[in-house]
Structure 1
Amino acid sequence: MAAPGVYPIERPTRTLSAILARAGGPTIPTDSAEVTVVRGNTRGSIWFEDLYDNPAADIALRGGDRIIVETDSRAFTALGATGTQTLVPFERRSISALEAIAQVGGLSSTTADPTGVFVFRNEPEAIAQRLLGRTDIRGTQRVIYVLDLTRPNGMFFARDFAIRDGDTVYVTEAPFVQFSRVIAALTGTLDSIESATTPGT
């Protein structure tokens, strides 16, 4: 906040939005600002921009309430044949698989296989049951989603597939790249053997 501190709850500042305005508003980008109200042992959060779009969320404050405004802490991991391999923070509230790939520099033009974009995710029990059409699944399940960008609707599907906090986006290498590496490894080994067995070397 621009002016953090302790504020009295008065008629003009009795709501969450009013006290945020009184404190000068967030100093971080509003599209990634999350507002949390802590009241005793209870806490609730809302995106800053949603607060003004949803009047019901603009709650009346009570004495002792604490308001925390912080940057979105969610992140995903990018691995494989992408522009970079690292832990990537969310740049906005929702990120599609296509945007996630673009955020890390896109697919490598020389090594990536666009038919093999994988998203690794831990899905809660209820979602896993719906995905598999089963009711005997218990607990969180590890799920792998496969995106093929070469299919007619592949780009649209990747655009509509939402990345979640903790996801791992992995792009496989093209088969010819893997083949080239195997050949290079074998060639290097054979060259070493030949050098070791050639007289006078």
Structure 2
Amino acid sequence: MNITKKHLSLLLTSVLLSGCTLPGSHLSLSGKHIVEPNSEQSSDEDISSRVNVYQLSANTVSSFKGSPVSSRSNPNLDKQVAQYQYYIGPGDILNITIWDHPELTIPAGSYRSSSESGNWVHADGSIFYPYIGTVHVQGKTVTEIRDEIAKRLAKYIESPQVDVNVAAFRSQKAYITGEINQPGQQAISNVPLTILDAINRSGGLSADADWRNITLTRNGKEESISLYALMQRGDLTQNRLLQNGDIIHVPRNDAQKVFVMGEVNDPKLLKIDRSGMSLTEALSNVGGINQLDADATGVFVIRSIKNDPVQATSPKSDDGAGQQEQPPIANIYQLDIKDATALVIGTEFQMQPYDIVYVTAAPITRWNRVIMKLLPTITGFNNLSEGLNYYTDLK
């Protein structure tokens, strides 16, 4: 019987020792690279050495902001618009008028529009006109076409007065796709068409549009455009003059995700809207931290290096053996909100896509969870001991 009790004691001891491993997740700064001004980098080999930790305070939060977006003019675009000219292409329809010579002008009439009665530009880029025959018009402006027709008609008509305009613009198009209320093609005409114009003509953006990461594809090359900067902040440098074949794609905001986990009242996935989201807004959207279980000093934002607009601090490359250390994989930003006024600091810290907001549990909470795990085992051990003692007394 003594042997049995000894075995039970050893079992309980092993269970208690295994209970020292706290259940659930916890974020510890031990071993991680705490970034301080003019401090040396650590050279640990584990993953902790590849994570930088920054303290968020009233003095430091401004240094963790990305480049500010402000209202700016776009002189280059203004110059392009001022010098813009439309060049005729196949499919366009021209309306040609010879004043005082109605026999050379096809009347539109009450039942025919200008586009129906005009001169269609054929696939080879030419039109046919009486007396002068074939006229090559592709790649020319209406002014150039007018001058050429007037010059060639001068052989048959004295001082011909020629007027040329485009009755239908069909040769050049830009395409608007993605999260647009009316996606489709936009005709490029003699009126300059910009990205902002094209989106407005398409009915604007849908509710699920990603305002910050639209793409302009031109000749196989993609360029990222921020409609947030253009439409919300007035940064006109984000606007572009569209050309034939341009594709504007507005993606869904599925990538604008923020994960809020840990000791908060309603852990969930949030989406950054078009105006952005601060750390305080993220906490507010999940009902704030759990006042009973959370460690108010342990509000962390875990951010991948590739998503961080702030340049990462890399460890020193020389480890004494001439070997290159691994670059950091994440930055961690810590906010202490024991004093609730520190939430003002959180309003200045903007969230980025795929940020993880994690609120750690207070030490007493983690210890209570250990005890709760051990209670069934201890109760069972006590019941078993009482049964063995009763059996021993009977003997």
Which residue number corresponds to residue 128 of structure 1? 312
| Cα distance between partner residues in 1 of 2:317 and 2:189 | 52
The match for 1:9 among 184, 188, 207 is 188
Contact 2:228 2:275 in 1 (8 A): no
Q: Determine the structure 2 residue equivalent to 1:183.
A: 371
* Aligned amino acid, residue 312 of structure 2: A
Q: Determine the structure 2 residue equivalent to 1:104.
A: 286
1:159 has 2:347 as partner: yes
In structure 2, the residue matched to 1:70 is 251
Query: In the alignment, which of 374, 383, 392 is matched to residue 195 of structure 1?
Result: 383
Give the SS at the match of 1:88: strand
Cα separation, partners in 2 of 1:120 and 1:49, compared to 1, 3 Å: closer
Distance 1:144 1:55 in 2: 34
Hey, what's the Cα distance between the residues in 2 that align with 1:77 and 1:118? 12
The count of aligned residue pairs is: 198
Shift of 1:153: 5.9
Gaps of 5+ in 2: 1-179, 319-324, 391-395
Aligned counterpart for 2:219 among listed residues 23, 40, 43: 40
**Per the alignment, do residues 182 and 56 of structure 1 end up closer, same or farther by CA in structure 2, a change over 3 Å counting?**
closer
The equivalent residue for 2:45 is none
Q: Which has the larger radius of gyration?
A: 2
Question: In 2, are the aligned partners of 1:129 and 1:135 still within 8 Å (CA)?
Answer: no
Change in Cα spacing, 1:173 to 1:29, as seen in structure 2 (3 Å) is: same
Q: Distance between the aligned counterparts of 1:49 and 1:142, measured in 2?
A: 26
CA offsets, 1:137-164, max 9 Å, x none? 8744322221101248632322222222
Q: What secondary structure, in the 3-state scheme, does the structure 2 residue paired with 1:161 have?
A: coil
- Aligned identity (percent) is 27
Question: What's the counterpart of residue 90 of structure 1?
Answer: 272
How far apart in 1 are the matches of 2:195 and 2:245? Answer: 13
State how far apart, in whole Å, the 1-side matches of 2:349 and 2:299 are. 12
Tell whether the 8 Å contact from 1:12 to 1:18 is kept in structure 2 after alignment.
Answer: no
SS in 1 for 2:312: helix
Letter in 2 for 1:108: N
Write the distance in 1 (CA, Å) between the matches of 2:239 and 2:330: 37
Matched, 1:57 2:238: yes
Alpha-carbon distance change, 140 to 74 in structure 1, aligned in 2, over 3 angstroms: farther
Question: CA 1:109–1:97 in structure 2 vs 1: closer, same or farther (change >3 Å)?
Answer: same
Query: Secondary structure at 1:64's aligned position in 2?
Result: coil
**After the TM superposition, which residues 165-176 of structure 1 pair with which residues of structure 2 at under 5 Å, given as runs?**
165-176=353-364
Shift of 1:113: 1.6
Question: Partners of 2:376 and 2:242 in 1: how far apart?
Answer: 71
Which segment drifts farther, 174-183 or 138-147? Answer: 138-147
Maintained 8 Å contact 2:211/2:274: no
* Alignment partners' CA distance in 1, 2:259 and 2:352: 10
Q: Are the aligned partners of 1:78 and 1:87 in contact in 2 as well (CA < 8 Å)?
A: yes
Q: Distance in 1 between matches of 2:363 and 2:283?
A: 20
The counterpart of 1:143, out of the listed 331, 343, 356, is: 331
Query: Which AA in structure 2 matches 1:171?
Result: V
Q: Which amino acid aligns with 1:105?
A: G
Contact 2:192 / 2:241 at 8 angstroms: preserved in 1?
no
How far off its partner does 1:12 sit? 3.3
Normalising by structure 2, we get a TM-score of: 0.44
What secondary structure sits across from 2:184 in the alignment? coil
CA deviation map 1:35-86 (0-9, x unaligned): 3211133222333343241233221101111111234322122221112334
User: For the residues of structure 1 that align with 2:357 and 2:246, how far apart are their CA atoms?
Assistant: 39
> Normalised by the size of structure 1, how large is the TM-score?
0.81
